[in-house]
Structure 1
Amino acid sequence: MTFLAVARLGRYTAAGAVLGINHSTVSRRIAALEAAMGGRLLVRGTGGWEVTDLGRRAVGTAERIESSMRELLDGEDGDPVHGMVRIAAPDAFTSVFLAPAMAALREEHPALAVELLSATQRVRQNRSGVDLEIVVGRPQVLRAYATPICAYALRLYATADYLAVHGEPASVADLANHPLVYYVESSLQVDELDRALQELPDSPPSVRSTSVFAHVEATAAGAGIGILPDFLGDRDARLVRVLDGRYEHPLAYWAVARDEGTRNPAVAETLRAITEHIRVAQGRPASA
């Protein structure tokens, strides 16, 4: 269980805090398990400790033990959807879809704890610290379960006042005369988000940010024409679409979990709750 906590959290100190033991005890227990299994279970990565191939085998066994212990403690009438689920997702997705979906899920399963981690980045090849990752674009991953959960598009938005003062572009080429509000190019880690900018002409000096919500507010303040997710731009009464029908960059959010993760009732139910909330929010019919 100590190893499983480190595999999920990525840090000895975090695992020790959850288990109520100190860093040295965590280290000793991991060393003893590695000695018993005859190899390294964890290696240090840029984001903390990551599991090795041998470690992945140990994770599977540890999770089966954890599940058996829960069944023993809960009895036949216990809710299998309990424990902790950690989800890494972009800010916009978390705000609009994930947070309300998880609030509703916890109404049904109050023994479930959910941690939401803000991340707009490429999918990690090792997901030891989180149970689910929500990423932009189809992920290229090994030993993982991936499924599309939400289609959307980047579109162009501005305020009516900005367009009245600076003129409304008649073509994509006209955007060369307007500041474009978007991500800081050097900080972009997602190829699909970078391609959206590459499709447009070079922008005059403009306001750029690593936060999509800063994009919305800067656009609403008249800083220029914003490149925004349509599920944010369309719902903001301060903004109107620009070049509607002549520019859009279609994208999709994908959910990624470890192969064994979806066998965990809490993870499986979390993923179901997310997709169902999105279906209802977008007015799509239930699947057959």
Structure 2
Amino acid sequence: MNWDDLRFFLEVSRTGRLVTAARRLEVDHTTVSRRITALESALGTPLFERAPTGYTLTEAGRQLLPHAEDMETACIGVQRQADAQGSRGEDLSGVVRVGATEGYGTVMLAPQLSRLVASHPRLVIDLLAVPRVVNLSRREADIVITLERPTRGPFIVQKLTDYALCLYGSADYLAAHPPILTREDLDRHMFIGYVDDLLFSQELHYLDELCRPERIGLRSTSILAQHRAIAAGAGIGVLPAFIASQDPSLRRILPAKAMQRTFWMSMPIEIKHLARMQTTWRFIKAQAEAQQELLNATADDAGR
């Protein structure tokens, strides 16, 4: 038995799927399967129950898990020391996986993190910008940005930033439909929004705070798809200001009814001392602080 086999064991135990574990380990899923089988053979007992829905730990697997995690912690300690020494004389290196909501990850983080890696050529950032919760407990990412503050787990949690949301429509749509001067005027308009039963956070129920639309023409799990539909004139909808204010085809509706949400940033305590994690964490926080005008833009400007 060797540490490499235990690394594969840990990733499968956390993700429950070979393909997901393989993606995290940057290998083919057949390699993961082979390493798990080799570990089970070495120990003389199955560690997982295999099913079409995924892998679950057997009793032997559950007993092995804390020992494997102890070995992982020891390896992280060695890496932490190496990173600390490297940060004093060499450039940052290694992989940092950042998970974020689709909109913030795509519109804000992608260009920001591109500048970070340009400054550190040996640093690799994996950006998971997805319309779902990235699970920190399962190690899907090293740093996670979420809409809800984590309330449990051995994590460092920090408020990243507040951001504004407002109702928007395209200039063409608004010119062709009845004017919207009050909340009651919204009843005569088509809306774009989320698929209610697929919302990954209660914080996305913001349309209910504004009104109860009588007509919803298009729903999507993707805020970027909603943005494109609104810009195409399919209807009106709520968008983050950091997305909508950068689109000159959109106009803000009822700006006094703007809403606010918060992004939270989290990271496992055990990796907080790694130089590449510290640098990435501080960089993301600094970028959010520098973009407050864009993140919280709610007043009308220049005819917008």
Could you say whether these structures have the same fold, taking a TM-score greater than 0.5 normalized by the shorter chain as the test?
yes
What is the CA–CA distance in structure 2 between the aligned matches of 1:66 and 1:138, rounded to whole Å? 29
Change (3 A) 1:170 1:14: closer
State yes or no: 1:66 paired with 2:79.
Answer: yes
Given the alignment of the two structures, is residue 26 of structure 1 paired with residue 39 of structure 2, yes or no?
A: no
Specify the SS of the correspondent of 1:146.
strand
In 1, are the aligned partners of 2:100 and 2:146 still within 8 Å (CA)?
Answer: yes
Q: Can you give the 5+ residue segments of structure 1 that lack an aligned partner in the other structure?
A: none
Partners of 1:243 and 1:48 lie apart in 2 by 50
Identity of aligned residues (%): 27
Query: Could you tell me the TM-score, scaled by structure 2's length?
Result: 0.76
| Displacement of 1:48 | 7.0
Return closer, same or farther for 1:226/1:158 CA change in 2, 3 Å cut-off: same
* Structure 1 segment 123-272 matched on structure 2, within 5 A: 124=135, 126-194=137-205, 196-199=206-209, 200-245=211-256, 247-272=257-282
Map 1:13-92 onto structure 2 (within 5 A). Answer: 13-14=22-23, 17-18=26-27, 22-23=31-32, 26-27=35-36, 31=40, 54=66, 55-68=68-81, 77-79=89-91, 81-92=92-103
Q: TM-score, normalised by structure 1?
A: 0.80
Question: Structure 1 residues 228, 17: closer, same or farther in 2, change over 3 A?
Answer: closer
**Equivalences, count:** 277
Q: Equivalents in 1 of 2:28, 2:168: separation in Å?
A: 48
Q: Distance in 1 between matches of 2:282 and 2:69?
A: 25
Q: Alpha carbons of 1:135 and 1:267: their partners in 2 closer, same or farther (altered >3 Å)? A: same
Measured against aligned partners, the alpha-carbon deviations of 1:113-162 in whole angstroms (never above 9, x if no partner) come to 11111223346361422101111132323211111112112210012322
Partners of 2:115 and 2:184 in 1: how far apart?
45
- Give CA deviations for 1:182-212 in whole Å, capped at 9, x if unaligned: 2111211110112x02222133131111221
Report the Cα distance in structure 1 between the residues aligned to 2:11 and 2:119, rounded to whole angstroms: 24
With over 3 angstroms needed to count, the CA separation of the structure-2 counterparts of 1:16 and 1:177, relative to structure 1, is closer
- Alpha-carbon distance in structure 1 between the residues aligned to 2:156 and 2:87: 30
Report the residue type matching 1:118 in the other structure: A
Contact 1:153–1:250 (CA<8 Å) still a contact in 2?
A: yes
Match of 1:108 in 2: 119
Alpha-carbon shift at residue 283 of structure 1 (Å): 5.7
SS in 2 for 1:22: helix
Which SS does the other structure have where 1:206 is aligned?
A: strand
**How many angstroms apart in 1 are the aligned matches of 2:125 and 2:171?**
40
Preserved contact between residue 4 and residue 62 of structure 1 (Cα < 8 Å): no
Q: What's 2:108 paired with?
A: 97
Q: Give, as a single letter, the amino acid of the residue that structure 1 aligns with 2:278.
A: A
